[in-house]
Each structure stands twice: as structure tokens, then as C-alpha cells.
Structure 1
Amino acid sequence: MAQRPPTVGRGVLHPAEGASRFTVTPVPPGPGLAAYVEYHWIVRWDVTGQPPYEQQVLAHPNVHLVLEKSGPLVYGVIRGIFTRRLIGAGQVHGVRFLPGGFRAFTAGPARKLTDHILPAAGVFGPGADELCPRVLACTDTDAMVALVESFLLTHVPAEPDPHVARVAAMVEAMTADRTMVRVEQAAARFETSPRTLQRLFAEYVGVSPKWVLRRARLQEAAQLADSGSTDWAALAADLGYADQAHLTRDFTSVVGVPPSRYRPREG
């Protein structure tokens, strides 16, 4: 798969408001990890003297390794709204694995991680606990990335798993192509059966192909809502919904408010 520059922001709800509280620095992986890792992300914040800030995110179909003050954690795909509470000042270092990429580091299917947050030592051993404070003590982004990459390279499997690149390419296509709205369409595009696609996603991604398609549409709807006024009826048609009411139900069930009440907020 061709290396793409890392992008962040899609899925972050009310990003303008969050931008006044924290910064996100994305860093692409080195060549030794590019087959498994999409990018590193370092979040820094300072809300000292202010009320705690809660940032909500419509998560992507990616597993993350996150080094934070409470310790190193593995975040499976979160199917609901993920909320991060920021207090005082600090930083975290995250590693966003490619969809399917984390499967190469574990003995079990990705579905066992879904909606779970687990100690990273359970996957990477006690070295993860030793790594965490060293990384968080750094103030230089490049130094942080170098420490994490050096650690992860010791856990890269000797033999590459060909399914990882295939699954990552599938998720990328499903996320980018607005016309792909049904699992049957995706299966036809990838020359497989819906059942085989479902099994592959349960093993490598942790969520169903239907969830991936639905989440991509909801992320786009939220992103457009944050940009200002939206013709929701036209957007519903563009995103493959039966009608505006279908989009409204889907959006409300996940975000908690209907699209018409989701408004950009001041930063």
C-alpha cells in the first residue's frame, strides 16, 4: 500500500472548540512499521485554571496503543462515542494501527478487543510499562516517536501477514467511496462473498463491514455539519440513505442529537 501523509480530524466532534484546548501532531511511521501502523499521534493540552474539557470522537476502525499518565493501554475499536476528558496540562502518545494491522501483534482475533481498553503489557509484556514514563518525559516529538518505534520493532512478526495490507486497502476504499453503501457492493468490489468479508473483518478489524460503511457516512455528516449549514435531504441521498429521516435516526442514535441540532460551536 502506498504511504499516505497522516491526516487527523475526521470524526472529532466540534473540532474548532477542541482546537483551542489541545494540539494534535501526527507523524508517519518509519519503514519498518509502515505495514502495520498508520501514524503516531501526540496530543498536548493545557487547560490549567479552566474546567475539565471533554472531547468526543466518532472513532475509526483502528486499534490504538496509547501511552498516557495512567499507563500504556490498548484501545480496541470503540463503536459508540469515545470521550476523552482533559484536566490540567499533559500529553499522550498514541499509535494508530492500520485497520487490521494490530492483528499481527496478537494471538487472538481483533473482535475480542472491540469496545475494550486493556493494559498494553498484556500484549507487549512488561516492557510497555517501562516504556511509558520514558516517552511521556520527552518534550521532543521526534524523540518520543523514536522510542516507541524502537520498542514496537522488537515485536514485529518475522513473517508478514498478507491479509493486513488487503484489509487496510478494503477499509480505505469503503471509507473513501460514497457510492459504496452496502456490504454486497463491497464484497463485489473486492471479489469475495459478503460472508467471507464479514469473517475477515471480525478477525482483523474487530467490527463488521456494515459498521465501517455506516461510521464513514456518519463521520462525513458530522464533518459537513461542523462546516456550517447543510442540505440534509441532499446529503442523505449522497450518502446512500433511503431518505433524510433515515440519516436523522442513524445520526441521532450515535451522536445523541439530530443533525439539525448539531451546530458548530465557538472555539
Structure 2
Amino acid sequence: MNAPRTRAISATERTGVLAPANLERFHAQWIAPADDVRDVVDTYWAVRWHLDAGERIEQRIIDHPSLTLSIEHGDVDAPFVVTSARSHAWTRTIAGHGDVFAIRLRPAGLAVLSDLDPSSPGPEQELTPALDTRAHALLARIAAAPDPARRAERADALVRAQLAERPLRASQRIANAALDALTAQPHVQRVPDVAAAVGTSERTLQRALRTHVGRGPGEIARRIRLQEVVRRLSAGEEDIPRIAVDLGYVDQAHLTNDFRRVAGVTPGAYVDGLVQMQAALRGRP
């Protein structure tokens, strides 16, 4: 029996969502892509919300090091959006009602589905025909499907067709393999070791990631590592020195400085904020 394609996004997994208890309020879901488009699509995800009048949620996120194409409806800024990873945690203000269907791309994906350079989009930018005709047309066709499950099915078919038109090059496959290696081991890794694991030179690895992700391996590894710190802290782990050791930091101070630089707070302050938030949620009617 095939595994279900759709499942709820758990607050205990590595998403980079700060205060992930909010995920339940957004009806957040992962939708698995078809096997034959996984070189292009990392995952589809969908969220839907309907907040009370006057209610606002300031949701903060440490991005996954990837680019995302999204279809948005309701109280949103634009119908189609392209998003790249930010250098620091960012905040999205959620109010009213709306829904989002998103395609999180693999490193190889942008060159298949778009004519954009990975370094050209801003952190979040409306995707218009003037910006990128190819990707805009793709999202418009997917948006015509009535719900997330059928949007994923239509996306699979359209991505499959574009992959046949633009098959992957060697550098795209190297970039995919490098991100897989970094994601599987979210601790401090030396770039030469990552290159060796992928079976390429350090220079080729650097060039492949810069070309297809717009970032180098060190920056990508740091983002994945901080997402893992968020996951462990959010799951109730409070032994910050142990987390630092497990993830290969020199000491707790290095973890604290790294986390504060991106998240804007220390790990201890983040944990305190989670406790306060959970108490507030328990007090909701």
C-alpha cells in the first residue's frame, strides 16, 4: 500500500518555525511530490488560516536554504511569490483568512522551472510575468486546481514536462547531493569533507551551490544547523551545552552567538518565550 502523500507538519520536526505550536492553527501540511520529480521538488506544503477579527500572529521563521514558489490567496500581499532564504529570521504577520500552496525547490529546481538567477530574487518578491514568464505560467496553471492535493498532482505533471524539456546537468546533481549531505548531518562539517562525501572537488562543490542556490556550503550548513537547534529547543530540550556538543560547536558560547545573530535572541530567551506562549495558548477559550 502506498504511503499517504499528505500529512500534518509536526511541531517536533525540523522546519525552522520559531514557536512551532502555531502550526496547528495554520492547518499546516506537507504534500510529497511524485518520485520522478524529486530531483526538482523537495516538498509541497500548504497552510490555511482563519483568525478572529483583530487577531494577528507574528510568525517568525529561520528559512530552509532553498527557494520557494508559492500560490497565495486571501489576506496576502500577492497571488504568486518567489522566496529565497534570508540571512536572519524573518516575521510574517498573519491575520484574517487565507491559504498558501508552495513548492519548495531542490537546488536543481530553479533552472528547470524558471529563468531566474538564484541570487536575483529578493527575500520575498511578487512573481509577475515581467519577472519570470516561465515560472508565472507554471503557478497560474497549478492555481487553477481546486485544493492542495489536486494542485500537487497538477504540479507533478507540469514539473515532469519541464524536466523532460530541461534535463538536469551535472552541476545541478552535485548541488542536490551536497544539500542532501548537509541536511542529513546537521552538525559542523568541513567543506572538504562534504565535497569528498559527494565525490567532487571543493571548488566544484562551491561553484555548484553558488550557481543553483546562490549560497556557499558554509552558509547552507549553518542554516540547517540552526533549524536543528530550533527543533531541539522547541521539543523541550534545555541542555544547551549538550546541544552545542552534539552539533559540533566549539562551546556553548559559539552556539549562543550563532543563534542570537540569526534569531535575534539567545537560546535561553527563546525557551523562556516558548514557555510563556504555551501558557497563553492554554488560556485560550
Fold agreement, TM-score > 0.5:
yes
Q: CA deviation at 1:147?
A: 3.8
1:21 aligned onto 2:21? no
- Given that residues 113 and 135 in structure 2 are in contact (C-alpha distance below 8 angstroms), is that contact kept between their aligned partners in structure 1? no
- Given that residues 39 and 108 in structure 2 are in contact (C-alpha distance below 8 angstroms), is that contact kept between their aligned partners in structure 1? no
Q: TM-score, normalised by structure 2?
A: 0.80
Q: CA deviation at 1:34?
A: 2.6
CA distances 1:24-57 after superposition (whole Å, capped 9, x unpaired): 1211123453321122111111112252112111
Distance across 1 between alignment mates of 2:164 and 2:205: 24
| Identity across the alignment (%) | 29
Residue number among 132, 141, 162 corresponding to 2:148 in the alignment? 141
Structure 1 stretches of 4+ moved >6 Å: none
Q: CA deviation at 1:242?
A: 1.3
Distance across 1 between alignment mates of 2:58 and 2:142: 23
Q: 1:129 to 1:223 in 2, by over 3 A?
A: closer
1:247 aligned onto 2:247? no
1:68 aligned onto 2:72? yes
Query: How many residues matched?
Result: 260
Q: TM-score, normalised by structure 1?
A: 0.85
Residue type matched to 1:15 in 2?
Answer: P
Q: CA deviation at 1:176?
A: 1.7
- Given that residues 108 and 168 in structure 2 are in contact (C-alpha distance below 8 angstroms), is that contact kept between their aligned partners in structure 1? no
SS in 2 for 1:200: helix
Structure 1 residue ranges without an equivalent (≥5)? none
Q: 1:126 to 1:110 in 2, by over 3 A?
A: closer
SS in 1 for 2:119: helix
Residue number among 110, 115, 127 corresponding to 2:137 in the alignment? 127
Give the alignment of 1:6-17 within 5 angstroms. 8=9, 9-10=13-14, 11-16=16-21
1:56 aligned onto 2:56? no
Distance across 1 between alignment mates of 2:122 and 2:42: 19
Structure 2 residue ranges without an equivalent (≥5)? none
CA distances 1:86-115 after superposition (whole Å, capped 9, x unpaired): 111111110111133222233454233363
- Given that residues 107 and 175 in structure 2 are in contact (C-alpha distance below 8 angstroms), is that contact kept between their aligned partners in structure 1? yes
